[in-house]
Amino acid sequence: KFTYQRAKVNKAKRLGEVKSLPLDASLAPTAKEISKTWAKRRSDDGDLYETLEALDHLEELMLFGNMLFLDGEPVGFNLYSRISQDTVDNHIAKTLRDDVDTLMKLEFYLTLDEAVTYINREEDLGIKGLAIHKQDAQPCGFNDTYILTYRKECR
């Protein structure tokens, strides 16, 4: 079932020596630089502002994650929060190399305790690449999403 993911992980491991560290305040400046470089490669800033804010407030927001290094160079990071005893929520993932995203997630998943059985990957925002990426993860299910709007007559 996960042949594709194993192949991606093995390909990434051949790129260099892999090291993964917990993302804490000491690595936040490096994560900010990764985020800024990531944004410069795009046609828009994406969620750069939100990512930088999150990195400024890791402890207050109770965010945790990991940073992936190849041959000592930082190449990406993930940020998560725990939303229940058995579920973590993936908020932000940034990579400077397209071929390390699955390895970065695996390295993080290996740090989770046995109580975690679900990882919420959040919505794909209608972006085709994100939707394909999330399908590749072999999800166990999908939640309905809703858009709330303000109507004056409800006041």
90-130 confidence digits (pLDDT tens): 888 899 987 888 888 888 888 898 999 888 776 555 656 65
pLDDT of residue 48: 92
Q: Is the pTM for the entire model greater than 0.85?
A: no
Note whether 151 and 14 are within 8 A (CB).
Answer: no
Instruction: Please write the tens of the pLDDT for every residue from 62-79.
Output: 999 999 999 999 999 999
Mean pLDDT score across all residues of the chain: 83
For the record, the structure tokens of 81 come out as 């929060």
pLDDT of residue 110: 87
pLDDT of residue 33: 97
